[in-house]
């Protein structure tokens, strides 16, 4: 405990968090006045980051310059999964651990899986065109399609991919999925059976073009890193079936913008649904918006009341553990 009675473990929430996750963590820690939880606007972070022990980011860039100023920092954690914005090498060089909150335990993966299904159905039923028809007082337009009977390729069968496959089963679809190493599955995370039980055909990353050819819908659930950036490129899209649908629930940079645009322009792509964009927030003047078969959501797939409260609890527990010198649990380290 601090002799002056002030907080001696400080948690900083950086960048925009929606909903206000720092408040959820504050509520969770209300009995622990020695743990301080702050939310700072981006402009004041460089001057104040040196006062904090834990930094919680959400899809923001935490550069080596900022990390160099974080002299008291012990842990940088993503409020979720994707750590591509954090300079992990710089953090390691400064002796700071970097971690993510695995999506399987917080409901983040379940939230994303539900959103992927929502987007798939929206594309199949032509959500944008339906809205226009209603506004123009038209009846019986447009004609959509069912998920039933389709082949869905889950590109990147991690936690989100697994939750998606489980939820897709009752729709009567054929499910193809790729991951690098199927033997690496953690059996303790499985509620029923194995990962393989949810999938009709499994493959490795080398099979992605082959699987694209066989699918009506591709859902991208990959981690974004130097190896996966631009995976959905011109060759991938041309491997997809004519009129195939593409859904991106993971990160904008996994898709090559030009390839997606041209796929839509030529009609080869029947529709594209994206919760994530190349730059966020999505530019409302982006020419890709001219296509009525582009369905966008503003990076909210994992943003639900339940997953956010659950992640706030993980942050709170980690702060308590750090405060009392215990090992940190509930997170996965990246360094
Ligand atoms: N839109 C949103 O609100 C949210 C988006 N996300 C994004 O979704 C991504 C996936 O989340 P989640 O399922 O929880 O993560 P997981 O780590 O459980 O799964 C990631 C998948 O990416 C694959 N992968 C990682 N690196 C490579 C590589 N170099 N080459 C080929 N495949 C690779 C993994 O392969 P393998 O299975 O072989 O390990 C795995 O299938 C996150 O990284 C994040 O960016 C996450 C939560 C919310
Ligand atoms: O968990 C993630 O990576 C997110 O994108 C959170 O919404």
pLDDT value of residue 6: 63
Q: Using pLDDT thresholds of 50, 70 and 90, give the confidence band for residue 141.
A: confident
As a whole number, mean pLDDT of residues 12-41 equals 87
Which numbered ligand comes closest to the C-alpha of 161?
1
Short-list 122, 183, 191, CA closest to 157: 183
- pLDDT for 17 equals 65
Number of helices (H), then strands (E), belonging to the chain: the values are 12, 13
Q: How far apart are CA 285 and CA 328, in angstroms?
A: 44
Nearest CA to 178 out of 229, 113, 228, 122 is that of 228
Q: Which residue has the tokens 């997606």?
A: 260
The band of 193, judged by pLDDT with boundaries at 50, 70 and 90, is very low
Atom of ligand 2 nearest to the CA of 301: 7
pLDDT at 43: 86
Q: Which residues face 75 on adjacent strands?
A: 54, 97
The whole-angstrom separation of Cα 12 and Cα 96 is 15
Q: CB neighbours (10 Å) of residue 321?
A: 16
215 lines ligand 2 (CB under 6 A): no
pLDDT in tens, 38-61: 998 888 899 999 999 999 998 678
CA of residue 327 to ligand 1 center, whole Å? 26
pLDDT for the residue numbered 2: 43
Q: Which atom of ligand 1 is nearest to the CA of 276?
A: 1
Write the residue with the smallest CA distance to atom 17 of ligand 1: 158
- The CA distances from residue 302 to 26, 116, 241, in Å, are 21, 10, 29
In whole angstroms, how far apart are CA 272 and each of 19, 59, 142, 259?
27, 22, 17, 12
**Which candidate, 319, 310, 270, 247, places its Cα nearest to that of 101?**
310
Q: Which token pair is 283?
A: 């530019």
Pick from 18, 78, 81, 165 the residue to mutate for probing ligand 1's pocket: most ligand atoms within 8 Å of its CB: 81
Q: What are phi and psi of 288, to 5 degrees?
A: -65, -20
In this structure, are residues 163 and 185 in contact, taking their beta carbons and an 8 Å threshold? Answer: no
| Cα–ligand 1 centroid distance for 333 (angstroms) | 15
Please say whether the beta carbons of 182 and 196 come within 8 A.
yes
pLDDT of residue 154: 98
Stretch (H or E) spanning 309: helix 305-323
- What is the reported pTM? 0.95
Confidence of residue 197 (pLDDT cuts 50, 70, 90): confident
Q: Strand 54-57 vs strand 269-274: parallel, antiparallel, or unpaired?
A: unpaired
Tokens 């006062």 belong to 51
ipTM associated with this complex:
0.99
pLDDT at 3 over 50: no
**What value does the mean pLDDT take over residues 265-281?**
96
The Cα-based distances of 133 to 20, 124, 130, 142, 208 in angstroms read: 36, 16, 5, 8, 37
> pLDDT tens-digit profile of 107-119?
999 999 999 999 9
């Amino acid at each position: 405990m601090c002799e002056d009675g002030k907080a001696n473990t400080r948690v900083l929430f950086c960048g925009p968090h929606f909903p206000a996750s720092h408040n959820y963590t504050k509520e969770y820690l209300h009995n622990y006045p020695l743990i301080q939880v702050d939310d700072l606007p981006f402009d004041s972070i460089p001057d104040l980051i040196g006062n904090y022990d834990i930094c919680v980011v959400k899809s923001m860039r935490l550069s080596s310059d900022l990390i160099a100023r974080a002299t008291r920092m012990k842990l940088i954690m993503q409020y979720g999964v994707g750590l591509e914005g954090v300079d992990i090498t710089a953090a390691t060089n400064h002796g700071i651990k970097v971690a993510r909150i695995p999506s399987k335990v917080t409901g983040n993966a379940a939230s994303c899986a539900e959103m992927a299904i929502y987007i798939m159905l929206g594309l199949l039923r032509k959500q944008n065109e339906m809205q226009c028809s209603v506004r123009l007082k038209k009846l019986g337009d447009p004609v959509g399609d069912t998920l039933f009977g389709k082949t869905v390729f889950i590109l990147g069968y991690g936690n989100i991919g697994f939750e998606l496959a489980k939820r897709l089963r009752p729709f009567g679809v054929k499910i193809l999925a790729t991951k690098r190493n199927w033997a690496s599955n953690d059996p303790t995370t499985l509620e029923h059976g194995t990962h393989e039980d949810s999938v009709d055909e499994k493959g490795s990353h080398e099979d992605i073009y082959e699987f694209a050819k066989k699918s009506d819908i591709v859902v991208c659930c990959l981690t974004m890193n130097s190896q996966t950036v631009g995976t959905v490129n011109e060759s991938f899209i041309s491997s997809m079936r004519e009129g195939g649908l593409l859904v991106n629930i993971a990160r904008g940079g996994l898709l090559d913008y030009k390839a997606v645009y041209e796929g839509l322009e030529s009609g080869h792509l029947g529709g594209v649904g994206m919760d994530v964009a190349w730059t966020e927030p999505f530019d409302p003047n982006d020419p890709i918006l001219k296509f009525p078969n582009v369905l966008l959501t503003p990076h909210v797939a994992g943003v639900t009341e339940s997953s956010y409260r659950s992640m706030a609890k993980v942050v709170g527990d980690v702060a308590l553990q750090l405060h009392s010198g215990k090992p940190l649990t509930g997170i996965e380290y990246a360094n």
